Structure 1
Amino acid sequence: MSRKIDLPTAAEMQKFHDQSQRHTFWSRISMPQRLSLGFLTVITVGALLLMLPFSYHGNVGHTFMDGLFTATSAASVTGLTVVDTATHWTTFGQIVIMVLIEIGALGFMSFSVLLFTATRKKMDLRSKMMVQEVYNLESLYDTRVVFGYVIKLSVIIQSIGAVLLAPFFINDFGWKHGMFYAVFHAISAFGNSGFSILPHETAAYNNQPWILLIIAFLIVAGSLGFLVWRDLLIYRTTHRLTLHSKLALVMTGVLIVGGWLLFELTERNMSSAQGIQPINRIFDTLFMSISYRTAGFAQFSFDSMSSATVLLTMMLMYIGGTPGSTAGGIKTTTLGVLILQTHAALRGKKDVVFSHRRLSHENIVRALLLVFVSLAFLGILSFLLMLTQEHTAHYGLEYIIFEVVSAFATTGLTLGLTPHLTTFGQLIIMLAMFIGRVGIYTVMFSILNVHDDKAPFRYPEESVIIG
């Protein structure tokens, strides 16, 4: 007895073909490429939301570039703006910016993991690998555990910051605006974004050290990195810190104290020039050391600061925060590895040792490559920006370099060039912000599709003269 076989219809065959093609396309995309595409999607959605008529005030000029630049700056937790955040955007637009900051700070992959957790579904291998890439994890086993720390810690720290800021803002702006300002600035400070919606005339709290200390606490909390916080929280049970956490904490402490002392030196005339109480000057320079390196909140205009302060700020911005944090830059551990390597080389030692542990050769090579590639990238973008802004005589070399370094380090400070950028100049700064947040390695691997390729042979070794 023959059995009748139902052959698939043409529509079903086409559907199967499309699914197989889609599967083949996505399977060919590497993890860095997925991260870059995901981040671009977040920026695009944010820009479209900011183009809605109720996102901005109708009596101000508004273009798609305004929305795209703001969305890129918010998602990359930078803070550079071509329009005034406080007056240009409505409350809805400011909420969109706040959400973009939160997504950019925690990483959009966090919200994907949150979806898996809420629906109680298991994460597939690719999702785990993307989380591993975002948070610089050593193993896939830690993905869901670290995610729990990321979300809980972020909510707790931002909530504490909002509660502490609320009394000050409510006293100045009333309950409705005061609470919204407190929440917005707690998220912005923890995300190291530097966005502020305070009116210009009340934006500088340089004589209110408690507000500066609260914001500084949020900035440090965000710039330390979630892996460091996890080590600190479980220290009572493990009684040990990882080598990464030790180096990150040491370098963060050195940079904060060192920057504080240097700003005291470069701005030694601040009290008389700005009309600040001598005791408040100590808090102001401490805040500058913390904020100018990663966040970009500025309580003073750079017009009133010395050239030494501008140079010091660029150096601190370039270093940035800790890997796996909300901050940008080449990262504190990169600087620490290079200092340790230099110290070992000058003493004629082959091994680079820290805290009774020997750093791997791959660590050192990766740090050197990051510094070289980032400096080359900054040089190219600065050159392109000089070409497009050359008609503006008022903005010289320091304005250009400062702007590019600030964008790449996702700090958000400016000497005043941002609102005067041409369309091409805005594209350059957006590219710098995007690469600064996603990571220069991620972007390089996305473009070059880098993968491990061990050669079957090695060439003979020979040296060249150096120095």
Structure 2
Amino acid sequence: MDKIQHSKFYSIFFDTLSKKMVAGFLLIILIGTVLLSLPIATRSGQGTAFIDVLFTATSATCITGLTVVNTAANWTTFGQVVIMVIAEIGALGYMTFAVLLFNVMRRNLNLSTQIMVKESLNLENLHDTKSVMRYVIGLSALFQLLGMALFAFDLVPRFGWGRGLYVSGYHSVMSFCNAGFDVFGNSLMSFRNDSYLLLVTTVLIIAGGLGFLVWRDLLLYHERHRLTLNSKLTLTTTISLFIVGFLMLLVTERNLHWLPAGTSWFNRTVNTLFLSVTPRTAGLISLPTDSLHAGSIFLIMILMFIGGTPGSTAGGIKTTTFGVLMIQSIAQLRGKKDAEFAHRRFSQSNVSRALLLIFMASVVISIATLILTQTETIPSRYGLEYIVFEVLSAFGTVGLSLGLTPHLTVIGKVVIMLLMFIGRVGIFTTLYSLSKRQVKQNLIRYPEENILIG
């Protein structure tokens, strides 16, 4: 009886926790919507349509970058800064800033706050909370300031000191946060011949999408002389996807042979490299997506679906989910019962959770795609990929587009906003906060029997 009561207590507690996390992100979106609705936020001084303001605030909070209005043309410096700030909060998690406030006020974290931080950053243990928070805040500040300094070498000579530093800081934040917003008007298409800027952006995207727990493991390796299983799997999967994606895009795009004849081989390769990294939820693009070959678009959709690392600024189903299922599949094909990696065995609950995540994500994506096929108009030169690409981009909080987002209907905007929110908050957190399930103790177990599969 005590065990049942214990389970019910934790069920109620985590149900409340999930609702608080969802409510926290909704509050950020609400604040962003109010600020962006002010006349001072738009260049026209007359404000922007409410649905477009809400869409922008949602996209920024969910660090996606999909926009129905051009960021550079529509928003003033005030509006752009609002977008940058809520993107920063959305990327690091609102709990990060809550903990920072607690530290400034020199107050200790209570148990519920520590558990919320643990869940928002996907930590395994409560005692990791304080140390990880220091790494989250410190590493974020370090990477973004360093990125700003590196961009300034390139952008200050172009725009002058004032504008150059502002653009450098803005682009550094959006690159590290994998947010996808830009103040250039056409993402990074004006910089396709600037290999230096593209390479710095690539490093920042990877840094933000790798995950704070992995960075902590790497920085403490000289003391511990070991990496956690999570970090090993993350690094292995990330590097493998990076290499495979790059090589496949070299093939499908023939190393961007359609670029002007004067474009150097090195610059083509850097742009291809950037193209293989940005679908991992960054959303910045140096090449028009609608000019890519069908094979490249399909590959990008796969990369968007996988996304980045748990506890990072990235979205998608995450690299660890993909890695666990790949290892489990290989083990099954070899006739092994257990999924083993780095001399460790994944628990069955890990595998089951990964399978459930893939299934639920597929259901959400399928429903959203079906709705959009009924509400949106597909251009004659496209097929279903025109819709699916946008759906995966929103769910993976990527921000890439084949051109659908600016032309979305009101229903379409609502669907994409819901996808961005689910993709950022997490499908489990979102669905669990909406459910009213109660813990049920199975007192009877029926006989086991097999059916035909495949």
Question: Which of 388, 400, 404 pairs up with 1:401?
Answer: 388
Deviation at residue 65 of structure 1 after TM alignment: 1.1
Deviation at residue 453 of structure 1 after TM alignment: 3.7
Conserved 8 A contact 1:267-1:309: yes
Give the match for residue 232 of structure 1. 218
Find out whether 1:368 has 2:377 as its counterpart.
no
Deviation at residue 145 of structure 1 after TM alignment: 1.2
Which secondary structure does the structure 2 equivalent of 1:30 belong to? helix
Deviation at residue 459 of structure 1 after TM alignment: 1.4
Conserved 8 A contact 1:338-1:364: yes
Conserved 8 A contact 1:340-1:354: yes
In the superposition, relative to structure 1, how do residues 133 and 27 fare at CA in structure 2: closer, same or farther (>3 Å)? Answer: closer
TM normalised by structure 2 equals 0.94
What is the alpha-carbon distance in structure 2 between the residues aligned to residue 181 and residue 27 of structure 1? 44
In the superposition, relative to structure 1, how do residues 218 and 28 fare at CA in structure 2: closer, same or farther (>3 Å)? Answer: closer
Deviation digits for residues 155-184 of structure 1 (CA, Å, limit 9, x no counterpart) = 001110000001211111111111011001
Structure 1 residue identity aligned to 2:251: L
Sequence identity percentage: 49
Deviation at residue 305 of structure 1 after TM alignment: 1.1
Question: Which of 85, 104, 115 pairs up with 1:129?
Answer: 115
Find out whether 1:79 has 2:65 as its counterpart.
yes
In the superposition, relative to structure 1, how do residues 394 and 68 fare at CA in structure 2: closer, same or farther (>3 Å)? Answer: farther
What is the alpha-carbon distance in structure 2 between the residues aligned to residue 207 and residue 116 of structure 1? 45
Structure 2 residue identity aligned to 1:377: V
Give the match for residue 384 of structure 1. 371
Which secondary structure does the structure 2 equivalent of 1:204 belong to? helix
Give the match for residue 282 of structure 1. 269
Find out whether 1:172 has 2:158 as its counterpart.
yes
Give the match for residue 30 of structure 1. 16
Give the match for residue 329 of structure 1. 316
Give the match for residue 192 of structure 1. 178
Conserved 8 A contact 1:191-1:326: yes
TM normalised by structure 1 equals 0.92
Conserved 8 A contact 2:365-2:392: yes
Give the match for residue 9 of structure 2. none
Find out whether 1:318 has 2:305 as its counterpart.
yes
In the superposition, relative to structure 1, how do residues 425 and 120 fare at CA in structure 2: closer, same or farther (>3 Å)? Answer: same
Give the match for residue 5 of structure 2. none
Deviation digits for residues 357-390 of structure 1 (CA, Å, limit 9, x no counterpart) = 0110000000101101101110000001111114
Deviation digits for residues 31-69 of structure 1 (CA, Å, limit 9, x no counterpart) = 111100110010011011000110011167721111110
Give the match for residue 232 of structure 2. 246
Structure 2 residue identity aligned to 1:207: N
What is the alpha-carbon distance in structure 2 between the residues aligned to residue 128 and residue 269 of structure 1? 48
In the superposition, relative to structure 1, how do residues 58 and 252 fare at CA in structure 2: closer, same or farther (>3 Å)? Answer: same
What is the alpha-carbon distance in structure 2 between the residues aligned to residue 149 and residue 419 of structure 1? 38
What is the alpha-carbon distance in structure 2 between the residues aligned to residue 160 and residue 64 of structure 1? 36
In the superposition, relative to structure 1, how do residues 409 and 270 fare at CA in structure 2: closer, same or farther (>3 Å)? Answer: same
What is the alpha-carbon distance in structure 2 between the residues aligned to residue 360 and residue 242 of structure 1? 15
Give the match for residue 408 of structure 2. 421
Deviation digits for residues 60-113 of structure 1 (CA, Å, limit 9, x no counterpart) = 772111111000000000000000001100000000000011001100010111
What is the alpha-carbon distance in structure 2 between the residues aligned to residue 251 and residue 230 of structure 1? 18
Equivalenced residues, count = 442
Conserved 8 A contact 2:70-2:185: no
What is the alpha-carbon distance in structure 2 between the residues aligned to residue 149 and residue 175 of structure 1? 31
Conserved 8 A contact 1:344-1:352: yes
Which secondary structure does the structure 1 equivalent of 2:278 belong to? helix
Deviation at residue 273 of structure 1 after TM alignment: 3.5
Conserved 8 A contact 1:79-1:410: yes
Find out whether 1:441 has 2:428 as its counterpart.
yes
Give the match for residue 342 of structure 1. 329
Structure 2 residue identity aligned to 1:366: R
Give the match for residue 266 of structure 1. 252
Runs of 4+ in 1 over 6 A off after TM superposition: none
What is the alpha-carbon distance in structure 2 between the residues aligned to residue 407 and residue 278 of structure 1? 33
Conserved 8 A contact 2:39-2:46: no
Give the match for residue 130 of structure 2. 144
Conserved 8 A contact 2:181-2:187: no
In the superposition, relative to structure 1, how do residues 394 and 428 fare at CA in structure 2: closer, same or farther (>3 Å)? Answer: farther
Deviation at residue 121 of structure 1 after TM alignment: 0.9
In the superposition, relative to structure 1, how do residues 76 and 274 fare at CA in structure 2: closer, same or farther (>3 Å)? Answer: farther
Give unpaired runs (5+ residues) of structure 2: 1-11
Deviation at residue 393 of structure 1 after TM alignment: 5.7
Which secondary structure does the structure 2 equivalent of 1:163 belong to? helix
Deviation at residue 303 of structure 1 after TM alignment: 2.5
Deviation digits for residues 222-261 of structure 1 (CA, Å, limit 9, x no counterpart) = 0000100110111000000000000000000001111110
Which secondary structure does the structure 1 equivalent of 2:160 belong to? helix
- Structure of higher CA gyration radius: 1
Which secondary structure does the structure 2 equivalent of 1:292 belong to? coil
Deviation at residue 293 of structure 1 after TM alignment: 2.2
Find out whether 1:115 has 2:125 as its counterpart.
no
Question: Which of 62, 65, 69 pairs up with 2:48?
Answer: 62
Deviation at residue 454 of structure 1 after TM alignment: 3.4
Give the match for residue 104 of structure 1. 90
What is the alpha-carbon distance in structure 2 between the residues aligned to residue 393 and residue 306 of structure 1? 16
Structure 2 residue identity aligned to 1:254: S
Deviation at residue 463 of structure 1 after TM alignment: 1.0
Deviation larger for 191-200 or 438-447: 191-200
Conserved 8 A contact 2:28-2:61: yes
Deviation at residue 274 of structure 1 after TM alignment: 3.9
Which secondary structure does the structure 2 equivalent of 1:404 belong to? helix
Which secondary structure does the structure 2 equivalent of 1:73 belong to? helix
In the superposition, relative to structure 1, how do residues 450 and 161 fare at CA in structure 2: closer, same or farther (>3 Å)? Answer: farther
Give the match for residue 15 of structure 1. none
Give the match for residue 14 of structure 1. none
Give the match for residue 23 of structure 1. none
